[in-house]
Structure 1
Amino acid sequence: MIKNYFKIALRNLWRHRGFSFINIAGLSVGITACFFIFMYVSFELSYDDFHSKGDRIYRIVTDIKTPSETINTSSTSWAFAPAIKADFPQVEAFVRVSGGSFLVRKDNVKFQEDNTLFADSTFFSVFDFKLLKGDPKTALTQQASLVFSETAAKKYFGDKDPVGQTVLVTGDAIPAVVTGVMEDMPENSQIKADMLISMSTLTQKFNKGLDDQWGNYGATSYLLLKPGVNYKSFEAQLPAFMEKRNGTEAKQSQMFATLFLEPLKDVYLHSTRSGQQSGSINNVYVFSIVAVFILLIACINFINLTTARSVERAKEVGIRKVVGAAKGELAGQFIGESIILCLFAFIITIILSVLLLPTFNQLAGKTVSPGVFSNAYYILSLFGISVGIGLLAGIYPALVISSFKPVLVLKGRFSTGNKGSLLRKSLVVAQFSISIALIIGTIIVYNQMDFMQNRDLGFSKDQTIVLDTNGDPAKDAFKQSVKEIPGVKSAALSSSIPGGGNMGAYSEIENSKGDLQIANLDLYYVDFDYIKQYNIKMVAGRAFSRDFLKTDTTQAMILNEEAVKLFGYTSPQQAIGRRFKQWGREGKIIGVMKDFHYRSLQEKIKPLSMRAENGNLNMISIKVSAKNLPATLSAIESKWKTLIPNRPYSYYFLDEFFDRQYRSEQRFGKLFFNFSILAISISCLGLLGLASYSTFQRTREIGIRKVLGATTTGIVNMLSVDFIKLVIISIFIATPVAWYFMYKWLKDFAYRIDIQWWVFVLSGSLAIVVALLTISFQAIKAAIANPVKSLRSE
């Protein structure tokens, strides 16, 4: 019986090859897209899942309240974690990490290890990062001990065992002993490093006494709580702890810290604070919804095409019922055919997935999966999805077909009636509502990305290359030397560049009432050429000048417009000449600069201060001419190797660096666009199938109309108008839904576009054009056919 059903299923699929191809192609593309989204979502949700104690690890984050603002930061002071461990028996261990960049040398091999972390000795006992060589309990205990990742170790030692070997770190060539080699940190880890240095190196050697500093916020701290400890109850005890330990100092500095705990597994997707790696739970939701939409569209195609063809199998069902076939057997047969079709789609999906996975990984910007067969769970999930679709998509057609009445069918009086037609129309409306919503979403995402990349940032970033001298003593000489190169227009030194981070400085600024108001201001150290080179506009006062060399480097500060507003001034001019105190310096405000986007456009412009300093200027920005650029870059490299020979030469263009801030949004946009195109393509496949079948059903009607004088245009209009009506209904359904969800998506951006009316008009027009193009092929084919052939059997 089963063998017979299988043969019948294959014969039917082959007899209706066009419909079968459309069904299988639609399902294959739909399942492949859904499978890729499933892998992406699973990967995003898997961040930090590999830590066996992950459900007991919490990141400490801080809200710092000053008289001016509340700062929400992911960092803590250096003293917090050790003091919490000392005061609370509920804490099993703590780990602090802090990022850095170090020059590392071994003989003639040298690299600037930008992805470096200082870490406490408990790092490997709290986290499950695998140590391939060395003792995890002691690897980070001693000063100047370090652990390389497997990849980093090979750069310096090749295949030799590096444990016990010495390398030189920093420009001062401090000897450091390699105490371990760890497996490269997993892709799905929000903590990333190629090199770990013992925390005692920082707190006892580079910055002695750091462990006791309560007001210095530079550490990311994690707590491992003992089993059974409720972290919310524990968190409720922290305010009393802070009052006891830091109350007096907090009152003096007017900086009051409130501590919160974030579960480690929530940090990557759910935290609103910064981190080494961060994702977006909203993007996960969006892609999950898109996956469901694509599957819905594929299933709708299947149901539509199968029920549309039900008339052709009516006599088969009638005969089977006459000879004794039960309704359940018939339903089982047709569900089985549905599953067989889906299994064909499953095989094609495997092939497509293998071929397209490298491209998908590239689009996602990370290795979501090394291979389709790398995880048996993927294949089982894919098989389950295919069979599930076959069952769900086959149930309704099977029930409809198996319920045919044999007497009516065999007398030729059977028709699907209005119910079947209404269902198919409803499904087409649902299908195109989803597609139009995705078109609207794609246009809005593209416009937002274009807005972010082309918005006036308030400074000049074109034709500027940046090099990090890491405080090399020859930086000033290097700057003066490169300015002599013909292709160099100007050069400037600073502590930061736009988009490259900044320091937060405890500041006291005279406000509009004449009082010194405490605030934590972002701070740039710059030289005299920085403001001019970046073309930052001054709206009041003046920029730093060598004409005031002595006072400008010791007693002067420049604020941006946002900082001026913070201190209550109604115009920038009012702030000129006001007093400031900041990190041991006192003086007056000499100028106010126009706000510029020194952070990502995802963040609002914040209060910024600038001071002219001789020290702390590690970054050199060089504006170059586009003419003969390779020769200019070669000359700059030559100057570097002559004046700073101990550091590797590495540069980047500022505009490319700044644009990289939006890389995750760009990847999101590309993925969203590609999946939207797939969904729309699958919808068109279904529409093509329905148009083809509708045309086939009306072949004789078309022949009669042509004999009676109907034109080709008239017949095409007649066949198209019903489908276009459905698309127009879809437009009215999709528009408010798409507006609501895209409005919510845009709210995550500090600077965003307004959703314009033309987006909806354009999306609807595109949908109508696509539908017309899809339908017209079959309509024109039917309209120009010879009516004699269609009427011959009559």
Structure 2
Amino acid sequence: MNNLKLAYRNLFRKKQNSLIKIISLGTGLAVGLMLLSKVSFEQNYDDFYPDADRIYRISTTIKSNDAPPNEWGQVSGAVAPGMKAEIPEVEAATRITNLTGEENAVFSTPDKKRYKGKFIMADENIFDILPRPMITGNAKEILSKPMHAIVSQSIAAKMGGDVIGRQIEIESIPGRELTIEGIFEDVPENTHKQYDIILSLHSMPSFFRLDGRDNWLGNDRYFGYVKLRKGTDTASLATAIRRMQDKHQDIKTVEAKNGYSFTYNLVPLKTLHSGSPHIRRMTLLLTIIALALILTAVLNYVLIVITTLVSRSKEIAVYKCYGAENKDVGRLIFTETLLHFILSLLLAGFIVFCFGRTIKDLLSVSLATLFNLRSCIYLSVVCILIFFITAFAPSYILSRIPVANVFRSSTRLRAKWKLILLSVQFAAAAFLFTLLVIVNKQYDLMTNDNPGYTYRNILHTNTSGVPRTTVPTVIDRLNRLQPVAAVATASFLPFGSMSGNNVLIPGEDRELFNIADMYWADEQYVPLMEIPIIKGEAFDRNSSDNDILVSQSFEEKMKTIAGWEGVVGKDIIITEHGLSRIVGVYPDIRLGAITDQDMRPSVLFYQSEPATELLIKLKTMTAENIESVYNILKEGMPEKETVLSPYSDSMVMMYSGERRFRDSILIGGAITMLITFIGLIGYINSEVVRRTAEIAIRKINGASLREILQLFMKNILVIAFFSCIVGEIAASLVAAKWMENFSEKTALSPLLFIGCGMIILLFIEVVVFINCIKTANQNPTDSLKKD
């Protein structure tokens, strides 16, 4: 208790710098622990499901002789229930498919109230494998009936709570009423499959032209999941899976005809997210950043504590003169550190609470989920380790200072340990600053790079759910609007994900390769997007509905596989479309994002009727012009909630994850540099005080201002120089690992690393100069009198 009282009193002593220690440590802990919580969140996806270690998603793998394996996480409709029927080790199976292309589809009630939610379709067995507690209703019974649905608790609350028996209609798929018959608990945020409304899979014929639930091949739109019996090794199921394929797919004939091997793999549920190479790299980098930040905060705390050794040494010596032993002194320092650490944690919690909304935007996860029970236990262990590291060094050093040394040479304590602590902080600052510059350069490249087409001054909106007879009228009104340069329609926009179809030569059964199918567009689409045609011609009003444009890589594939010297004017068969004639070739454009680019050859089909994506190119992008377009859309399509987006904003939104990662480094780097400079200022001030008499004597003996400044700046410069080299090397290694996420990468020249290191050195020297100049200019007589 006495130690606690003494520790409390020392909080308010001026020379203890307690406030600075608590603020720097608390700020560092707030950001560092927040990033570690994000890492824990990313690594524990889907672990809330019972028996998660026995749940697997079925993936399709195709391997041809001249290409690496191609694997994707979707299967045909009959595969998952087929595994349940044919393989005894499979305890349960289910199928899920997306219903709409939108992340949050708009749906309405008969009273015209609108809501948003993520729709999926699933069979009645979904909760046998991926269970959610039901609040109302029996999921298995409800999902056995066509056009029936269950909704999440949050959706039910938005709709007023009493939703059982109510009808809803998806705005983009009008004329199909769904009946809500049950409510389930919301799916947690850390799951690979988010949804708000589950519609019975038996409703498939009402929504899709092709009902592929019983298909063993083709229409592989389904996510299939299986739960294995306890003790089952997935490797032991390879033979049974192959036997199932032989029985239902005539797999030998399929492989012989197409020239590739075709099988299914079981991917553990808990690795679907955390096992992704992109997620592994991101969590590794976040861990490094968090540890660098926490280490800087801890070392800075220790540095400030030990910087006050001179004054504390006299205090400790007095305690020892009155009979205190080393263990008593150690307990006092330990108690002080504990008090500081508790206050720092309270400050960290206050910072996190105050910036909760910002943290949610930055990390894309709510605070309640970020700091759940598992995460709090994990962070508690980290905090305990940090505390013991923070408490051990000061208590060990101070408790072992001999009394005689204190009174004989208290002003001659060596500064080597202080420089070591500073050097680590300098390295961390250089590392984070350089990494921030690299991440920012890569982000600028992604958001400003040329994807092979022009999207400047283009707006886009989706017209699904609007009567097809209405859209031409809206297009005509838009074309007559003075600020509008052109209007076009297409089925999909290049930044989205594309379905796949296979290529065949007429008269042959062999499927040559898979393409990214952009489906349909009108004759205005290619010129509006300024996609160049390098061979043949673009679509025009005289084009027929079986005319297609193909990418340059498509032509190269046909030359390699079929021996064609050119493709323009030739007929080709595309599965799902049938016979088509190639009329032109365009350069490969980017499909998807740089972080997940679709590298397949692509095709574009002509359609005279308007497609669902409406693009409006303005002469100038102004708020007034956007509002004029919006008003026409709102008036012309009153049955649909109009969402009008600049194409450039959609391109930027693709890289929101990279933006958040950049912002995390920005915050971490800024706080690390601030803490480092606080420690540097404290070190310089203590050195100036210690060497005041020496400086005065040097000035009396003729030392210039420059020579006095060199006493401090030269030593710091040497330490900082080598620290920056270490930081730059670490940044280059980490950046190279992070760059593996992208198909296109910013250049990392040696000059970039040299420049970043020079900037950190300049900042350090400026801080040293500002804190030394006053003492260097002081009258030496006054300095000697004070000393």
TM-score, scaled to structure 2: 0.90
Q: 1:149 to 1:476 in 2, by over 3 A?
A: farther
Question: Aligned partners of 1:635, 1:19: CA distance in 2, in Å?
Answer: 61
**1:275 — aligned with what?**
none
Classify the secondary structure of the residue corresponding to 2:139. coil
Judging changes above 3 Å, is the alpha-carbon distance between structure 1 residues 285 and 628 closer, same or farther for their aligned structure 2 residues? Answer: closer
**CA-to-aligned-CA distance 1:709-734 (integer Å, 9 cap, x gap):** 43444322322221121111112222
Once residues 68 and 618 of structure 1 are traced to their aligned partners in structure 2, the CA distance between those partners, rounded to angstroms, is: 38
- Residue 195 of structure 1 is matched in structure 2 by 197
The answer for the alignment partner of 1:575 in structure 2 is 567
User: Which has the larger displacement, 685-694 or 197-206?
Assistant: 197-206
Change (3 A) 1:303 1:598: same
| 1:675 matches 2:675 | no
Shift in Å at residue 179 of structure 1? Answer: 1.5
The whole-number CA distance in structure 2 between the counterparts of 1:117 and 1:317 is 69
Distance verdict in 2 for CA 1:62–1:515, change over 3 Å: closer
- Residue pair 1:59, 1:220 contacting (<8 A) in 2 also: yes
Superposed counterparts of 1:553-632, under 5 Å: 553-554=545-546, 556-568=547-559, 574-583=566-575, 584-604=577-597, 605-614=599-608, 617-626=611-620, 630=624
Q: What is the CA RMSD across the aligned residues, in angstroms?
A: 3.1
After superposition, residues 296-311 of structure 1 pair within 5 angstroms as: 296-311=295-310
Q: Distance in 1 between matches of 2:355 and 2:211?
A: 53
**What is the one-letter code of the residue matched to 1:654?**
Y
Alignment pair present for 1:759 and 2:764: no
Query: Cα 1:627–1:467, aligned 2, differ >3 Å: closer, same or farther?
Result: closer
- Structure 2: distance between partners of 1:350 and 1:103: 37
**Closer, same or farther in 2 for the Cα pair 1:635/1:316, shift >3 Å?**
closer
Q: Say if 1:730 and 1:236 are closer, same or farther in 2 by CA, change over 3 A.
A: farther
Is contact 2:457–2:617 with CA below 8 Å preserved after alignment? yes
Contact 2:44 2:274 in 1 (8 A): no
1:482 to 478, 485, 509: 478
CA distance in 1, matches of 2:405, 2:655: 64
Aligned to 1:71: 70
Q: Partner letter of residue 489 of structure 2?
A: L
Counterpart for residue 217 of structure 2: 214
| CA displacement, residues 389-443 of structure 1 (integer Å, 9 cap, x when unaligned) | 3421232332232222334444x146766xx533222222122112111111111
**Structure 1 residue identity aligned to 2:728:** T
User: In structure 2, do the counterparts of structure 1 residues 433 and 167 end up closer, same or farther at CA, with 3 Å as the change threshold?
Assistant: closer
- CA distance in 1 between counterparts of 2:267 and 2:639 reads 42
| Secondary structure in 2 matching 1:482 | helix
User: Is the Cα–Cα contact under 8 Å of residues 166 and 176 in structure 1 kept in the other structure?
Assistant: yes
Match of 2:641 in 1: 648
Deviation at 1:108, TM superposition (A): 3.9
Equivalent of 2:451 in 424, 441, 457: 457
Alignment of 1:416-435 (within 5 A): 420-435=414-429
* Residue in structure 1 matched with residue 121 of structure 2 by the alignment: 118
Counterpart of 1:399 in structure 2 is 396
Question: How far apart in 2 are the matches of 1:106 and 1:6?
Answer: 63
Q: Which amino acid aligns with 1:519?
A: F
Superposition deviation, residue 497 in structure 1: 0.8
* Within-5 A mapping of 1:40-439: 40-65=38-63, 70-101=69-100, 104-109=107-112, 111=114, 115-153=118-156, 157-159=159-161, 161-169=162-170, 171=173, 173-202=175-204, 206=208, 207-208=210-211, 210-235=213-238, 237-246=240-249, 247=251, 248-254=253-259, 256-271=261-276, 280-369=279-368, 388-410=385-407, 412-413=408-409, 420-439=414-433
Letter in 1 for 2:541: R
- Judged with a 3 Å threshold, the aligned counterparts in structure 2 of structure 1 residues 314 and 193 are, in CA distance, closer, same or farther, namely closer
Partner Cα separation in structure 2 for residue 488 and residue 184 of structure 1: 44
What amino acid is the match of 1:557? I
2: CA distance, partners of 1:423 / 1:135: 67
Give the unaligned 5+ runs of structure 1: 273-278
Contact in 2 for aligned 1:482/1:636 (Cα 8 Å): no
Q: Partner letter of residue 266 of structure 1?
A: T
Distance apart, 1:450 and its partner CA: 0.5
Secondary structure at the residue paired with 1:202? Answer: helix
Q: Who is 1:662 aligned against?
A: 655
Aligned residues: 772
Task: Describe the superposition over 1:126-148 as per-residue Cα deviations: whole angstroms up to 9, x where unpaired.
Answer: 22323322212212111111122
C-alpha distance 785-357 of structure 1, shift in aligned 2 (>3 A):
farther
Aligned partners of 1:534 and 1:112: how far apart in 2? Answer: 33
CA distance in 2, matches of 1:32, 1:209: 51
CA contact (8 A) 2:568 2:583 kept: yes
Aligned to 2:769: 776
Q: Which amino acid aligns with 1:27?
A: L
Alignment of 1:528 with 2:520, yes or no, is no
Question: Paired residue for 1:276?
Answer: none
One-letter code aligned to 2:246: E
Matches of 2:294 and 2:183, distance apart in 1: 45
Provide the rounded CA distance (Å) in 1 between the counterparts of 2:618 and 2:262. Answer: 45
Q: Is the 8 A contact 2:117 2:155 kept in 1?
A: no
Deviation at 1:505, TM superposition (A): 1.0
Displacement of 1:746 in angstroms is 0.6
Secondary structure class of the residue paired with 2:183: strand
User: What secondary structure, in the 3-state scheme, does the structure 2 residue paired with 1:89 have?
Assistant: coil
Amino acid at match of 2:418: R
Q: Give secondary structure in 1 for the equivalent of 2:732.
A: helix
SS in 2 for 1:749: coil
For residues 151 and 450 of structure 1, the distance between their equivalents in structure 2, rounded to whole angstroms, comes to 37
Whole-Å separation in 1 of the counterparts to 2:63 and 2:532: 31
Residue 493 in structure 1 maps to residue 495 in structure 2: no
Q: Partners in 1 of 2:574 and 2:750 — Cα distance?
A: 49
Aligned-partner residue type, residue 173 of structure 1: G
Distance 1:301 1:716, change over 3 A: same
For 2:652 and 2:292, locate their aligned partners in 1 and report how far apart those are by CA, in whole Å: 31
Deviates most, 565-574 or 593-602: 565-574
Q: Which runs of 5+ in 2 are unaligned?
A: none
Q: Please state how far the C-alpha of 1:83 moved relative to its aligned partner.
A: 0.9
CA distance in 1, matches of 2:393, 2:630: 72
Amino acid at match of 1:180: G
* 8 A contact 2:41–2:370 mirrored in 1: no
Q: Percent identity?
A: 22
Question: Does the 8 Å contact 2:447/2:651 carry over to 1?
Answer: no
**Cα distance, 1:318 vs. partner?**
4.0
